[in-house]
Structure 1
Amino acid sequence: MPPRRAVTGRSQEPRQRFVEELRLLRAQKGDSLRQLGEALGWDWSLFGKMESGQTLGGPEVAQALDQYYGTKDLLLTLWELAAGDPKQFKERYRRYMTLEAEALSLWHYGVSTVHGLLQTPGYARDLLTAGDISGDELARQVEARIGRRQLLEGDDAPRFRSILSEAVLRTPLEDAAEWRKQLKHLIEATERPNITLQVLPFLSGLYGLDSTAVMFLRLPDGRTVAYTENAHRGELIEETSSVERLQRAYDAVRDLALSPAESRKFIMRMLEEVPCEPST
């Protein structure tokens, strides 16, 4: 039996198909790249790079384009296929990503790692490598993770609070220079009006979230949902009583954490302890 031919005549390779759809939809809309950027609030050059195949952008960009073009989940689905990581984007995580993009505010507690919205490329690369990801797939996932940081940028960016266990800051990257970049990035994040960063010191003792990383999303309809995560799985929690129990534990953690000002000083002290590159 001869191979089945594609009815549309478009590429069956995921990344190229994603590029083709981006170009076609913008042409049908009649927008220039600059007009598209102004409409969605991203630098127009990002869309140019996406349409030339230089970058995939992040899932939130694909989702915003779906909303703009009225294509439901077409571009997000193509983005997921092009990113080559179907396991990461299971239905519960995909729903979380949808809600994250809509959230009015986000509250996070990190028990062992910096949240993806605050990671540098070097930190993301090391973290993903530790999960046995390598090669082209590693590059794609780092690109996707860093693309998510745009969620916190712009005048209408949601408020984001991240409480980090001291363990996060006591677990450096092997490359001291990359670790310095990550700590500097956290310090710079504290200067942005929509971001609050706190540190939970070891001396706080035991608490209700000592083994659980969690993100709360306050949604436009007034609901709050939670997403808990460890190295092997994540769970989206929408049932009200379960979310409230987690929120009470989070409130207790926030009461134990250093103030934002003291947390900034703590991270700056951590930065001072990192060896500088030797002079040549």
Structure 2
Amino acid sequence: MPQRRAITGRSQEPRARFAEELRLLRHARGASLRGVAEVVGWDASQFGKMENGHTLGGPEIVEALDQYYGTGGMLLTLWELAVADPTQFKERYRRYMVLEAEAVSMWQYSPSIIHGLLQTPEYAAELLKEGGLAGAELDAQVAARVGRRELLLAPGGPQFRTILSETALRSPLRDRDEWRVQLSHLAVMGERANVIIQVLPWEEGLHGLTNTDVMFLRGVGGRTVAWVETGYSGELVQETTSVEQLQLRYDRVRDLALSPEKSRQFIVGMVEEASCESST
């Protein structure tokens, strides 16, 4: 393992510290980003984004870097601190973010907005602005949210299913071009082997999750917990009976939703609509 350096004078902010450590380790090794990519895998640009603090990456890529640099889990520890850092996410999300990063499968229902794992930077920015964020804090939160997408993009990423209410797809961004980009991003992500996107049409009416944004996270050991959220607060549901009741409601909503293929056609149709609107 490389000799540890004194912490004095180095960044104390978890996200910046993680990025700094990645840069120092690579420079000490005398390796280029491309050289690291050739040995560890993933794209060199991914490592560049991590070293610049633009993304945290996922646990698999960090574990691979730990092995490459011989750091014995130190990088994964720094990554976990960065993920749970309250300056990146509000305090109530800290435990959830760790569980999300460790999940082997996730399934979610959105009654009104597109889930953060599928948001473009522009969508995230407009949504967070409406929540009162601005300036440097807004930039940091957008970067943190977009960085979470690496969970799905990394090789061996978790299985993810989202059911989007038609309401979420009929609530556009103010900039029509940015909205078209967001819809196109959904269509592209839906083609990934580990991502399933389904649309719940308005015509299906009321159901058990009409006003409930919920995410189920299944860990390596098979245990499932649920995260129930509003625009103002979130609650981690861990009690087995409560989780099972929510899962039953979710299963019934999934039965009402369009199939993945019909959902993709629905979204592609909306992309075409948005394209026509932005050109007029």
Calculate the TM-score normalised by the size of structure 2.
0.82
Contact 1:58 1:145 in 2 (8 A): no
Residue type at the aligned position of 2:162 = S
Partner residue of 1:277? 278
Contact 2:166 2:199 in 1 (8 A): yes
Contact 1:65 1:75 in 2 (8 A): no
Displacement after TM superposition at 1:234 (Å) = 1.4
Residue type at the aligned position of 1:10 = G
After superposition, the C-alpha distances for 1:17-62 in whole angstroms (9 at most, x for unaligned) are 44443344556788764565467654233333443xx334136469
C-alpha separation in 2, matches of 1:228 and 1:125: 22
Partner residue of 1:4? none
RMSD: 3.0
After superposition, the C-alpha distances for 1:143-189 in whole angstroms (9 at most, x for unaligned) are 22122112112441222111001110111111000111111111122
Residue type at the aligned position of 2:209 = L
| Match status 1:133 vs 2:141 | no
Task: Write the mapping of 1:28-67 to structure 2, written as runs, cut at 5 A.
Answer: 33-34=33-34, 36-37=36-37, 41-51=41-51, 54-58=52-56, 60=58, 64=62
What secondary structure is seen at the aligned counterpart in 2 of 1:151? helix
Partner residue of 2:81? 77
Partner residue of 1:10? 9
Percent of aligned pairs sharing the same letter:
50
Contact 2:106 2:161 in 1 (8 A): yes
Partner residue of 1:113? 113
For these two proteins, the number of residue pairs brought into alignment is 267
After superposition, the C-alpha distances for 1:114-171 in whole angstroms (9 at most, x for unaligned) are 0111111111111111111111222222222122112112441222111001110111
Cα 1:8–1:143 change in 2 (3 A) is closer
Partner residue of 1:239? 239
Contact 2:84 2:97 in 1 (8 A): no
Contact 1:103 1:218 in 2 (8 A): yes
Residue type at the aligned position of 1:73 = T
Residue type at the aligned position of 2:152 = L
Residue type at the aligned position of 1:11 = R
Cα 1:192–1:137 change in 2 (3 A) is same
Cα 1:67–1:112 change in 2 (3 A) is farther
Displacement after TM superposition at 1:9 (Å) = 2.6
Cα 1:13–1:263 change in 2 (3 A) is same
C-alpha separation in 2, matches of 1:214 and 1:277: 33
Cα 1:37–1:228 change in 2 (3 A) is farther
Contact 1:213 1:230 in 2 (8 A): yes
Contact 1:66 1:73 in 2 (8 A): no
With 156-165 and 96-105 compared, the bigger mean Cα shift is at: 96-105
What secondary structure is seen at the aligned counterpart in 2 of 1:216? strand
Partner residue of 2:161? 161
Contact 1:58 1:146 in 2 (8 A): no
C-alpha separation in 1, matches of 2:57 and 2:236: 18
C-alpha separation in 1, matches of 2:80 and 2:61: 6
What secondary structure is seen at the aligned counterpart in 1 of 2:123? helix
Residue type at the aligned position of 1:128 = L
Residue type at the aligned position of 2:87 = G
Partner residue of 2:144? 144
Contact 1:59 1:79 in 2 (8 A): no
C-alpha separation in 1, matches of 2:83 and 2:99: 17
Residue type at the aligned position of 1:135 = G
Displacement after TM superposition at 1:249 (Å) = 0.5
After superposition, the C-alpha distances for 1:53-88 in whole angstroms (9 at most, x for unaligned) are x3341364699369934236334435665x834xx2
Calculate the TM-score normalised by the size of structure 1.
0.82
Query: Where does the alignment leave 5 or more consecutive residues of structure 2 unmatched?
Result: 1-5
Residue type at the aligned position of 1:84 = T
C-alpha separation in 2, matches of 1:16 and 1:218: 29
